[in-house]
Structure 1
Amino acid sequence: MASALCHKCSTLRFYDLFNDDVVFHPDLNALVQSAKKCEGCNLWWTQVQRDCSKEDIAACLAKKLPANAIKSSNNGDFNIYLRGEWHPAGTASVPDQIWLSCGVLVSVVDHAATKLQTHLAVFADPATPAGALFAGRYSTSARNPEYYATFAKGTLKACRNTHGVCNQASPPGARQMPTRVIDVGDQALPAAKRITRIVLTKDLKQPQPYTALSYCWGKGTQAKLNDENLAEFTKILPESKLSKTHTEAIDLTRLLGIRYLWIDALCIIQGNTKDWESESKRMASVYGNAELTIIAGRSADSGLGFVTNDYPTTKKLPKPVPMKAGPNPHTGDGPDLGSVYLTIQRGKSVGPVDTRGWCFQEALLSNRSLIFGQDQVAYQCRSHTRYEDGCVDVDTSKREQSLTSLNPGTKPEVLRRWYQMLNSFTPRALTEPHDIFPCIVSVAMITHGVLKARYLAGIWECDMPRGLLWKSRWSYTSRRHFLPIEKPLASPFTKRAGETPGKPVIRAPSWSWAHVTGEVFWDTNPRIESKWIDAKNVHIEPRDQQGLWTTAKGVGNPDVLYMSALELQIRGKAVQVRCTNVLKKRTPLTPEGIMMESIKSTPSAKPAPAPTGTAKPNYIALGYFDFPGDPRPPNIWCLLVVVHEGLLLTRDGKGKFHRVGWFAVQDGKQFDGVKDMAVDLV
């Protein structure tokens, strides 16, 4: 069915818009009126309401200057102008698009204040004359639903043929395959004669290319490999019993001409602790050596699948609208290219997968990924990220500066990248809380290869002062954008002795960032890194004569998957304190702060009495409790870690200390004269 377009929309050509500013409507009111009958104007009006403030829209409808507009010579101009932006072969980080501006030519917006401005993306259908010059595509359940396969084949082929750095990361002849993979069948055979089954890679004559799947299990993961069906699945893997995400991954692997596929639920023996622990340590190899990782980003449940893109329907967006293309936008040569289409610009969000803990490592370790994102498909490799809408992000700095880069960097750089990685990892969710260390074990092993230091419950022994001073981003910065940290809760699906589903569990010692769930962060500014390593600034040290922070046996290897308890033997300045709330007037953005009133004491001394009358309290620090909603501990200590920061501790009946928060020093002189003491931190 043809789109209902007004005279202006039906006669506009992209060629004309690319070469000049064009008056679209005499004012915003005219656009609104036309939007009632014209699908093109309705698309523009929808975008204006999505992208511009209500105040600016109201002012333009009333033909008044918006409150934040700069007075200039164009104050009386309320024309609606359009101007096209085109990038040959999709060479920009933005799609081909058309800009709309009120009251000023789009071409001079950078030099004059527009009253409001927005834009729509431009795309062309594949295998059309316009498609040869316009890089953007649009693939949904209602339009070009099979294009994802063409996109995947084309981008993977180009990467194989032209990206030296991608091939260098995983040379085909040197790839190590996972223990088991799914054989999706000999492509030379008719579909009816192909047999899908699990194979042991040691039985293959030589390593073969394979794809790997990264996805959310949800409740839809049906058939799983276990000890009982292992023999059966090596003969035939019944696709009718698999979840939709699994079958779609199998179909896509076949479309790409690749014979083998790795899926965790079907290639790791579920319920077999020995096999699960052994295989979980090999994720760097599994994803790093895959020819391609398929990231089912848009699906929260494997029962729903990931190929179908229904984002326009779910977001209730207007459908794309055609526009005449005209000749070559740049030269004006050649025949008319037919039609291009306008649509609301799609986002680059990956989707629900980006919220899951296990999927974080999988994406980080992959050299090439095909991402079925929330709004569109993308191909990501070490050279660039190419999106379905034509955008190309050639900024490879994130990959080059990651822990999985070909040159991870010096020790200070690797530590910085480790903390930056944790900043992104800690907000992610885990169904099984005790997976906190297993699901980053491969990244930890890569990091260990550079640092050569012991790995203690998620903290590197060579950087213990900084590692201990993790902070809740919610309490330290803006509560508007972050959530508070919480206590890990037992999984409703996994039964562990002594745990009740939905109740708090202990998965790491109190001093480890893994003790909590939620976003934590560290200072990674290289200009102040001396604070953590300069002996003049550091006020704690290990009591062990060999410089070990703990004398516990059998710890320190990054492949230790569970570290719920570990004691540090520290020597440092610890002062017992009294807490006094001083922030009486709070706003939602006020940090959860308390002041510490010094009770200069030895470990055996009794706390000094509280100040009476008008005596001025002796404040030394501003403190932040990890769980401010919990009852205040009966005793609180300040352990000075570096010159301006330290840990809030409480001491149990056995003399052991537990972390309860951190503090920022207000009066460092209060620690002068305090003798070092032994602190056993658990």
Structure 2
Amino acid sequence: MVLSVCKTCKGLQTSQRITDESITEPLQRFSTTLPALRQSATAGCRGCAVVQQGILLHHDRFAHVNEEHVNISAESFNLGAETQNAQDHLSVELRWKPNDERCSDGIGEHEHDHEQDEKYPDLKLEFYTDKDGQSPFSAIGRGIRISENPLTDFGLDVAKAMIANCLSHPKCQQAKRARLPKRVIDVLANNGSNEVKLHESTFDADELSYEAGDYLTLSHCWGVGQNVLKTTKATLSANKTKILWSSLPRTFQDAVALTRALGFQYLWIDSLCIIQDDPSDFQRESLNMDAIYSNSFLTIAATSAYDSSQGCFLPKPQPFKIQATDNKGSLYKIYVREQPSHYSFKGNFSEEDHMNDWVMPFNCQDQAIAQTPLLKRAWAFQERLLSPRVLHFTPSEMIFECMEGIQCECGRIDNSMYDSRTTDTVKREFANFAAGSHRPGETNGDATMSESVDGVVSQLANINLNGTTSHSANSKDEAIQLWSYIITECTARDLTFDADRLIAIAGVAKQFLPILGGYVAGQWTFSTLNLLWYPSEASHCRRSKVSSSIVPTWSWASIEGSPIYFDNTTAMDLACTATFPSQRDCNGSGSHSWSPISGDRVEISAAMAAEVTLRFDSSDGYSLMKNHVSVEFTPDVGVPRGEDELVPGETLTCVLASMTWRSSIIGLVLKASKSQTDTYRRIGRFECYDCDHEGNTDEPGDAEALLSLWFPEIEDMTQLDDGPKKVFSVV
């Protein structure tokens, strides 16, 4: 008697296991609909019945959907030599949302997001067995266990294994014993209770830093701030004696418990280690974030907690168990769980792509970070970049980021066979850059790694840490490009206080100082092109509430409400330069100035600057007119008010800065200041691809035509550098 094989799932059997290890594509199993799967299961197919049962256990995810619209596909994997370290599960994907609904959900607000989400399913399940791998279906193999709680022996073993793997990376090996910040939490009070206390480090005059010691840091969302325990001038003395365990919010308690479990004595928490009502202490410590986080051994990230009351370790949904039988009636356990999506850590460009090809910002839309709110915070973005290693706690698993890679409990986050989407590479690119210059708080030397990693750190690493690595110098062009992408990412994230706009990125900026030189209010003084920033959604933007005397209009930090992008390359320099008079050093160059949270005026010298007339083309459309030739213009803010207010027919100044490789001309639009004589305010940036000539019904002229139409007196463009210049003082 010949047994018929199910036409839907082929019995979840493989007639011949593929052994060619060069084949890394998933093995397609079947594609069907939920009603067809039901019909096959009812007809007696054991494989379809198992898949149907696992899907219906997650029915709450699509209870509102007509089952006729639920499409199902399944695939398994050819693991080859990786079988011992990877999952051999059956992956079942469900899709039910039409493309227009995907877009309206807020996932695909931009074209590249929409394209990515068409590929990623609405629900992805994995069917697997336990560690013995026994299954009646060859398509369902062994799974990897995910810890329920990182404080259990198993959870700690997983975390320590991730750390040990990280410590085998050349860039992740510490160059010397770390120095403590000014204040840390001592989690080992040795008084028999859970109490902790604030420890003030001893300043070492010889080292010009605080006492040596290893410590961890916490990165967390403050939320509304009501449940955040703070150190103030009034509580400082008491906190140095003891901090009651019951007074610590859940997130702090979890961080303290993990610090102890990993064998460390000290933990840095911003709200407790910075005196929150002391402006000078807050500014000093905030500007020292580069040292605090880069010298930390590990940053504990409460990535999925919206505030400090939720805790680091949120409850994880446990896998469902399904009983299955083989054709002899023997019972087996099959597990099914929703596969960790890694959505917040994934993008749709290749790791091999140059920075110019990156899609920015990286997955910052609301649904992408719905379960990882910390990733949407600007302060936390800086902390993530600066930390040598970050342990994220998400609702599904632990995810570990370091300077050379990313790991997760399920083992798939950086394996393209399971998920072709690319992991976020900005942290690694930043680490590559930072490796080319010394870290704050560290010194150059020839000490071997075996001498530099000791105590708890060496106990966590089951590997011989020796050897050195050399790094080539970073070019200014690459550095300014990376900086620009980091600002795009930072400005796509949320801040509670406008005043933190610049200070929240100052620690990262300090890492660029050895390469890029002077830095004033977010602007590198060597680069005029870096002034050509622009908001991606100007209609959503507003001028910062912070006084313009602190954050000038020429700084990207003066605009809020949209990610900021930059133009840093040019096909032709139109003889436009910028200098920072108030920031000049003793040599008059200003190349080594450091003013990270405020700025004064910048002097822009231009060979091609013209007074133009502002024209309103519609309720929200503008153009600039000179010599009967007009170009479109979009201001930096959606509704210009106060000194930024725009009046039809008024005179503005257009400063041409460069021609680009995309055949356009870019410049700045300035408005005379009402409050300061002989000064201007930046109103916006314009980019001209073509220009319109009044009365000319022919096709509009290209961008290059604008040069001769607006500046007929300039006969030789190659002589711009030698010609007269106009200087504008922009505040």
Asked whether the two chains share a fold, i.e. TM above 0.5, the reply is yes
Aligned residue for 1:290, secondary structure, equals coil
Task: Report the Cα distance in structure 2 between the residues aligned to 1:22 and 1:91, rounded to whole angstroms.
Answer: 23
Q: Counterpart amino acid of 1:180? A: R
Is the CA contact 1:637–1:649 (under 8 Å) kept in the aligned structure 2?
yes
Aligned residue for 2:198, secondary structure, equals strand
Is the CA contact 1:96–1:136 (under 8 Å) kept in the aligned structure 2?
no
Tell me the equivalent position of 1:566. 601
Is residue 2:623 matched to residue 1:623?
Answer: no
Matches within 5 A, 1:384-533: 384-393=405-414, 398-402=426-430, 405-407=434-436, 409-452=474-517, 454-464=518-528, 466-475=529-538, 484-489=540-545, 507-523=550-566, 529-531=569-571
Aligned residue for 2:260, secondary structure, equals helix
Distance change in 2, residues 1:129/1:296 (3 Å): same
Q: Deviations over 1:567-603 (max 9, x none)?
A: 435344322222334579xxxxxxx65332105xxxx
- TM superposition shift of 1:293: 0.3
Is residue 2:162 matched to residue 1:98?
Answer: no
Is the CA contact 1:81–1:101 (under 8 Å) kept in the aligned structure 2?
yes
Task: Report the Cα distance in structure 1 between the residues aligned to 2:120 and 2:504, rounded to whole angstroms.
Answer: 47
Tell me the equivalent position of 1:678. 727
Is the CA contact 1:210–1:290 (under 8 Å) kept in the aligned structure 2?
yes
Task: Report the Cα distance in structure 1 between the residues aligned to 2:53 and 2:581, rounded to whole angstroms.
Answer: 67
Is residue 2:686 matched to residue 1:663?
Answer: yes
Unaligned 5+ runs, structure 2: 1-5, 19-26, 43-47, 96-118, 136-140, 205-209, 345-368, 416-422, 438-473, 660-664, 691-705, 715-723
Task: Report the Cα distance in structure 1 between the residues aligned to 2:332 and 2:404, rounded to whole angstroms.
Answer: 31
Distance change in 2, residues 1:163/1:130 (3 Å): farther
Tell me the equivalent position of 1:159. 163
Aligned counterpart in structure 2 of residue 263 of structure 1, from 251, 261, 269? 269
Task: Report the Cα distance in structure 2 between the residues aligned to 1:541 and 1:118, rounded to whole angstroms.
Answer: 51
Tell me the equivalent position of 1:178. 181
Aligned residue for 1:663, secondary structure, equals strand
Tell me the equivalent position of 1:632. 646
Q: Deviations over 1:470-523 (max 9, x none)?
A: 011124xxxxxxx82223347xxxxxxxxxxxxx87751111101111334445
Q: Counterpart amino acid of 1:663? A: F
Task: Report the Cα distance in structure 1 between the residues aligned to 2:377 and 2:299, rounded to whole angstroms.
Answer: 16
Is the CA contact 1:183–1:197 (under 8 Å) kept in the aligned structure 2?
yes
Task: Report the Cα distance in structure 1 between the residues aligned to 2:600 and 2:593, rounded to whole angstroms.
Answer: 15
Tell me the equivalent position of 2:231. 225
Q: Counterpart amino acid of 2:493? A: R
How many residues are aligned here? 562
Distance change in 2, residues 1:308/1:162 (3 Å): closer
Distance change in 2, residues 1:505/1:354 (3 Å): farther
Is the CA contact 1:9–1:40 (under 8 Å) kept in the aligned structure 2?
no
Is the CA contact 1:95–1:389 (under 8 Å) kept in the aligned structure 2?
no
Task: Report the Cα distance in structure 1 between the residues aligned to 2:197 and 2:129, rounded to whole angstroms.
Answer: 38
Aligned residue for 2:241, secondary structure, equals coil
- TM superposition shift of 1:681: 1.0
Aligned counterpart in structure 2 of residue 377 of structure 1, from 380, 391, 398? 398
Aligned residue for 1:402, secondary structure, equals helix
Q: Deviations over 1:69-113 (max 9, x none)?
A: xxxxxxxxxxx7744226436867x995424699xxxxxxxxxxx
Aligned counterpart in structure 1 of residue 216 of structure 2, from 207, 211, 229? 211
Is the CA contact 1:10–1:324 (under 8 Å) kept in the aligned structure 2?
no
Task: Report the Cα distance in structure 2 between the residues aligned to 1:232 and 1:116, rounded to whole angstroms.
Answer: 52
Task: Report the Cα distance in structure 1 between the residues aligned to 2:9 and 2:624, rounded to whole angstroms.
Answer: 71
Task: Report the Cα distance in structure 2 between the residues aligned to 1:28 and 1:222, rounded to whole angstroms.
Answer: 47
Aligned residue for 2:540, secondary structure, equals coil
Q: Counterpart amino acid of 1:339? A: I
Tell me the equivalent position of 2:283. 277
Q: Counterpart amino acid of 1:415? A: I
Q: Counterpart amino acid of 1:629? A: V
Is the CA contact 1:14–1:323 (under 8 Å) kept in the aligned structure 2?
no
Q: Counterpart amino acid of 1:84? A: S
- TM superposition shift of 1:266: 1.0
- TM superposition shift of 1:565: 3.9
Tell me the equivalent position of 1:540. 576
Tell me the equivalent position of 2:379. 358
- TM superposition shift of 1:325: 11
Task: Report the Cα distance in structure 2 between the residues aligned to 1:95 and 1:505, rounded to whole angstroms.
Answer: 59
Task: Report the Cα distance in structure 2 between the residues aligned to 1:168 and 1:228, rounded to whole angstroms.
Answer: 40
- TM superposition shift of 1:388: 2.9
Distance change in 2, residues 1:162/1:463 (3 Å): closer
Q: Deviations over 1:295-338 (max 9, x none)?
A: 1111111122231136x6xxxxx974547699xxxxxxxx9985
Is the CA contact 1:10–1:323 (under 8 Å) kept in the aligned structure 2?
no
Over aligned residues, Cα RMSD in angstroms?
4.6
Distance change in 2, residues 1:637/1:136 (3 Å): farther
Aligned residue for 1:661, secondary structure, equals strand
Normalised to the residue count of structure 2, the TM-score between the two structures is 0.66
Is the CA contact 1:123–1:138 (under 8 Å) kept in the aligned structure 2?
no
Distance change in 2, residues 1:488/1:23 (3 Å): closer
Is the CA contact 2:183–2:198 (under 8 Å) kept in the aligned structure 1?
yes
Tell me the equivalent position of 1:240. 246
Is the CA contact 2:658–2:666 (under 8 Å) kept in the aligned structure 1?
yes
- TM superposition shift of 1:419: 0.4
Task: Report the Cα distance in structure 1 between the residues aligned to 2:50 and 2:331, rounded to whole angstroms.
Answer: 23
Aligned residue for 2:202, secondary structure, equals helix
Is the CA contact 1:97–1:119 (under 8 Å) kept in the aligned structure 2?
no
Is the CA contact 2:312–2:393 (under 8 Å) kept in the aligned structure 1?
yes
Aligned residue for 2:530, secondary structure, equals helix
Is the CA contact 2:150–2:159 (under 8 Å) kept in the aligned structure 1?
no
Q: Counterpart amino acid of 1:275? A: D
User: Identity across aligned pairs (percent)?
Assistant: 21
Once the two structures are overlaid, the 10-residue window that deviates more, 427-436 or 161-170, is 161-170
Task: Report the Cα distance in structure 1 between the residues aligned to 2:574 and 2:89, rounded to whole angstroms.
Answer: 53
Is the CA contact 2:530–2:567 (under 8 Å) kept in the aligned structure 1?
no
Q: Counterpart amino acid of 2:639? A: G
Is the CA contact 2:523–2:530 (under 8 Å) kept in the aligned structure 1?
yes
Aligned residue for 1:625, secondary structure, equals coil
Is the CA contact 1:426–1:519 (under 8 Å) kept in the aligned structure 2?
yes
Tell me the equivalent position of 2:666. 645
Is the CA contact 1:160–1:167 (under 8 Å) kept in the aligned structure 2?
no
Distance change in 2, residues 1:44/1:24 (3 Å): farther
Distance change in 2, residues 1:571/1:323 (3 Å): farther
Is the CA contact 1:268–1:276 (under 8 Å) kept in the aligned structure 2?
yes
Q: Deviations over 1:41-89 (max 9, x none)?
A: 26547989989xx99x85899xxxxxxxxxxxxxxxxxx7744226436
Aligned residue for 2:542, secondary structure, equals coil
- TM superposition shift of 1:384: 1.9
Aligned residue for 2:684, secondary structure, equals strand
Is the CA contact 1:35–1:45 (under 8 Å) kept in the aligned structure 2?
no
Normalised to the residue count of structure 1, the TM-score between the two structures is 0.70
Once the two structures are overlaid, the 10-residue window that deviates more, 80-89 or 176-185, is 80-89
Task: Report the Cα distance in structure 2 between the residues aligned to 1:81 and 1:430, rounded to whole angstroms.
Answer: 41
Task: Report the Cα distance in structure 2 between the residues aligned to 1:595 and 1:381, rounded to whole angstroms.
Answer: 48
Task: Report the Cα distance in structure 2 between the residues aligned to 1:34 and 1:181, rounded to whole angstroms.
Answer: 62
Task: Report the Cα distance in structure 1 between the residues aligned to 2:286 and 2:53, rounded to whole angstroms.
Answer: 52
Aligned residue for 1:164, secondary structure, equals coil
Distance change in 2, residues 1:235/1:151 (3 Å): same
Matches within 5 A, 1:26-65: 28-31=34-37, 40-41=51-52, 43-44=54-55
Task: Report the Cα distance in structure 1 between the residues aligned to 2:180 and 2:597, rounded to whole angstroms.
Answer: 26
Is the CA contact 1:323–1:342 (under 8 Å) kept in the aligned structure 2?
no
Aligned residue for 1:638, secondary structure, equals strand
Aligned residue for 2:608, secondary structure, equals strand
Aligned residue for 2:160, secondary structure, equals helix
- TM superposition shift of 1:647: 0.8
- TM superposition shift of 1:676: 3.4
